[in-house]
């Protein structure tokens, strides 16, 4: 079992998967990680629809220009904001982001690859129709999940001195 910091620093977006199915127990663990994310007033403004059937995945793939990623995944988890329970849009959107990050870290811990898909939001109404989600559910993201088909990927980040400041904006982090 890896530590939290190690998982954060080693997690990468994985866009290509093997055909091996993801165990239901792993999907349950991913959802458990999501539901334990922090939320304002503990209102837990999220809903998740887990998609594993090939025909439904194909329909979702038609909703994004990243269709190959969606079609290659064993699991798609559509993440929704339940607008009927939200109390503050900004705080609730932040809570959804925390839930998504928890899911991505859980995938990393479980040896799964995942990617957070946002471009699919351009067709959120179509996604709702495909998944028979009520209008009160607003699509916030979709996660494509599966076993990575290749080894480690690399990534880079800006230097801390470019993004962090001491006391006042402009005073670079040292």
Q: CA 125 from chain center: how many Å?
A: 19
Q: Which domain holds residue 104?
A: 4-163
In this structure, is residue 42 part of a structural domain? yes
Residue 107 lies inside a defined structural domain of this protein: yes
Q: Is residue 172 part of a domain?
A: no
Q: Distance between CA 77 and CA 100 in Å, rounded?
A: 10
Residues with Cβ within 8 Å of residue 62, at least 6 apart in sequence: none
- Residue 142 in any domain: the answer is yes
b/e string for 124-161 if b means 16 or more Cβ within 10 A?
A: bebbbebbebeeebbbbbbbbbbbbeeeeeeeeeeeee
For the stretch 112-140, pLDDT in tens is: 999 999 999 999 999 999 999 999 999 99
Render pLDDT for 29-77 as a digit per residue (tens, 0 to 9). 999 999 999 999 999 999 999 999 999 999 999 999 999 999 999 999 9
Q: How many domains does the chain have?
A: 1
Report if residue 83 sits inside a domain. Answer: yes
Q: Does 173 map to a domain?
A: no
- CATH code for the domain of 36: 3.40.109.10
């Amino acid at each position: 079992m890896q530590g939290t910091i190690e998982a954060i620093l080693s997690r990468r977006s994985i866009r290509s998967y093997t055909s091996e199915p993801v165990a239901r127990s792993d999907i349950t663990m991913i959802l458990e990680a999501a539901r334990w994310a922090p939320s304002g007033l503990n209102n837990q403004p999220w809903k998740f629809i887990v998609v594993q059937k090939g025909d439904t995945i194909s329909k979702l793939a038609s909703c994004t220009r990243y269709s190959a990623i969606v079609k290659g995944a064993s699991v798609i988890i559509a993440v929704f904001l339940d607008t009927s329970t939200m109390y503050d849009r900004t705080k609730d959107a932040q809570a959804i982001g925390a839930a998504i990050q928890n899911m991505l870290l859980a995938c990393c811990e479980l040896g799964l690859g995942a990617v957070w898909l946002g471009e699919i939001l351009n067709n959120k109404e179509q996604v709702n129709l495909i998944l028979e989600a009520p209008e009160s559910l607003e699509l916030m993201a979709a996660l494509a999940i599966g076993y990575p088909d290749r080894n480690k990927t690399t990534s880079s980040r800006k230097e801390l001195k470019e993004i962090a400041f001491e006391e006042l904006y402009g005073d670079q982090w040292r």
